[in-house]
Amino acid sequence: MKAFDYAAPASLPEAVGLLASQPSARLLAGGTDLLVQLRSGRKDADVVIDVKKIPELNETTFSPTDGLTIGAAVPCYRLTDDASIQSHYPALAEVASWIGGTQIQGRASLGGNLCNSAPSADSIPLLIALSASAVIAGPSGRRAVPVEEFCTAPGRNQLAPGELLVSIHIPAPAPFSGAAYLRFIPRNEMDIAVVGAGASVTLANGVISAARIALSSVAPTPLFVPAAGEALLNQMPTAAALEAAAKIAQEAASPISDMRGTAAYRRHLCAVMARRALELAVARAQEIK
Amino acid sequence: MSAKVQVQTTINNEPVQFLCEPRQSLLECLRDIVGLTGTKEGCGDGNCGSCTVKLGDRIVTSCLVLGVEAAGESITTVEGLAHGSTLHPLQKAFLDHAALQCGICTPGFLIAADALLQKHPHPTEEQTRFWLSNNLCRCTGYDKIIRAVQAAAIEINGAAQ
């Protein structure tokens, strides 16, 4: 790895100031993407700014009214083990246990997964389904961006020079709601999704009152398909209704062929994975009394 | 080359201070500076798990940690498992079950398995395989490793209720 300096600011203003004064700085959270990219020469840095010492980036808070705020640098294993996440956002606890393996989860964060902005990022379809927003800080203050608008191209996102991701905010779960993320991979773990699907469903008297579906690995960015969720509004969660919504998600996908699968295979999987994610989200919504 | 940084840490319950460049991985620091060569380098990009160490309360691939990030942390490497000449029950189980051939992956498997048994005293086969999925072994075909870990679980924590 090429030489660089290391800084570990203890506050957000300090980090923002440092970032502004060092145009070639790179932000380090878990390092499971960054250090690989620096070592292979795919990215360069004169300074690596470790953001884990900034309290706001390294804490998770939940309240039944305000929802969940996940500091951008909180490693996955802390999310999997968090009792309030397990009970209020079980799909999120699951996805945090599926990114990489145990050792990767000891370091990798959802904030890093979001900022790496891979089309295949496991956590992003679920974050979109959960209506999450990305809280960003920069020289001109703070702003929040819906996660579905955060990624702009493979490896690219809305962060402007000098900005950094502070946290991910997820609204409190609605009564009778459920969510799920499922992915298709050739092995059972430690793999990159051929296709991933995130879904959330809210029921009112057994009828769907809200639904959101997003796919990964089938477009240049994680793909939110609003029409698929809207098609479910005021419907009973029947097999036919879920199948029809999954087909709408499938139609929005524009997969490519690569070493993980052909475009045609991915297109087929879109409908399968979206339907299964919806079925699981519905089952979870019905479980909640 | 950027200025070297003094890192104060605890390794295998001993205070250790080392001097490293910010670009050096914890793996390089452990092996080349501190002289603890039990931790092995395999892939160098976090896939194979042979460089696994315990860092604070979780396990990590030390190739994907900077040495400077270890400041103030507590680290356990494979050298910290045995008590003097008495092997850790996992080490003994690996020998008894022939859970290694070339041995390069073994330190990583031992550290990962130790963390597993601290979290799940009696892991199922599925839990064990899932937990150890970040550790690759090209010799054993894994079955012997799984059996060794399950035998060590009984040795350490008694039979499951």
Determine contact: A75 vs chain B, CB below 8 A.
yes
Distance separating alpha carbons of residues B152 and A108, to the nearest angstrom: 29
Closest residue to A104, CB basis, from B46, B66, B69: B46
- Token pair for A31: 């390092």
Average pLDDT estimate for A78-87: 97
Q: Phi/psi zone of residue A234: left (φ > 0), alpha (ψ -120 to 50 degrees), beta?
A: left
Nearest CA in chain A to B115: A102
Q: Closest approach of chain A CAs to the CA of B10, in angstroms? A: 19
Chain B residues whose beta carbon lies within 8 Å of the beta carbon of residue A48: 22, 66
* A212 touching chain B per CB within 8 A: no
Are the C-beta atoms of residues B94 and B51 closer than 8 Å to each other?
no
How many CB atoms lie under 10 A from the CB of residue B122? 15
DSSP string computed for A47-102: EEEE-TTSGGGG-EEEETTTEEEEETT-BHHHHHT-HHHHHH-HHHHHHHTTSS-H
Dist. CA A271–CA A195, nearest whole Å: 10
pLDDT(A62) > 80:
yes
Q: Flag whether residue A26 sits within 8 Å of chain B, measured between CB atoms.
A: no
- Nearest by Cα to A178 from A94, A69, A70: A94
Q: Is A5 on the interface with B (CB under 8 A)?
A: yes
pLDDT at A80: 97
Are A107 and B65 an interchain contact pair (Cβ–Cβ within 8 Å)? yes
C-alpha dihedral sign at A133, A271, A108, B55: positive
Per-residue pLDDT of chain B (161 residues; tens, 9 = 90+): 578 999 999 999 999 999 999 999 999 999 999 999 999 999 999 999 999 999 999 999 999 999 999 999 999 999 999 999 999 999 999 999 999 999 999 999 999 999 999 999 999 999 999 999 999 999 999 999 999 999 999 999 998 76
- Short-list B120, B72, B156, CA closest to A102: B120
Separation CA A28–CA A48 (nearest Å): 6
Q: For the purposes of burial, counting CB atoms within 10 Å of the CB of A231, is it exposed (0-12), middle (13-18) or buried (19 or more)?
A: buried
Are A50 and B131 a contacting pair at CB < 8 A? no
For tokens 């951008």, what's the residue? A72
Strand positions, DSSP E, A15-56: 25-28, 47-50
Residue bearing tokens 């999997």: A80
Per-residue pLDDT of A183-240, as tens digits, reads 999 887 888 999 999 999 999 999 999 999 999 999 999 999 999 999 999 999 999 9
In total, the C-beta contacts within 8 angstroms joining chain A to chain B are 92
| Interface ipTM | 0.96
Segment holding A239, helix H or strand E? helix A239-252
At B157, which amino acid appears? N
Nearest CA among A117, A114, A125, A94 for reference residue A274: A125
Distance from CA of A74 to the nearest CA of B (A): 13
pLDDT at residue A288 is higher than 80? no
User: What are the chain B neighbours of A101 within 8 Å (beta carbons)?
Assistant: 49, 133-135
Cβ-Cβ contacts under 8 Å, B25 against chain A: 1, 35
CB A195 within 8 Å of CB A184: yes
Q: Do B134 and A100 count as a contact with CB atoms less than 8 A apart?
A: yes
3-state secondary structure of B101: coil
Give the span between the Cα atoms of B107 and B68, in whole angstroms. 23
CB-CB under 8 Å, A106 with B58? yes
pTM exceeds 0.80: yes
3-state secondary structure of B125: helix
Using the Cβ of A41 and the Cβ atoms of chain B, whether some distance falls under 8 Å is answered with no
Other beta carbons within 10 Å of B120: 14
CA distances (Å), A180 to each of A124, A196, A213, B2, B124, in order?
Answer: 12, 11, 10, 46, 25
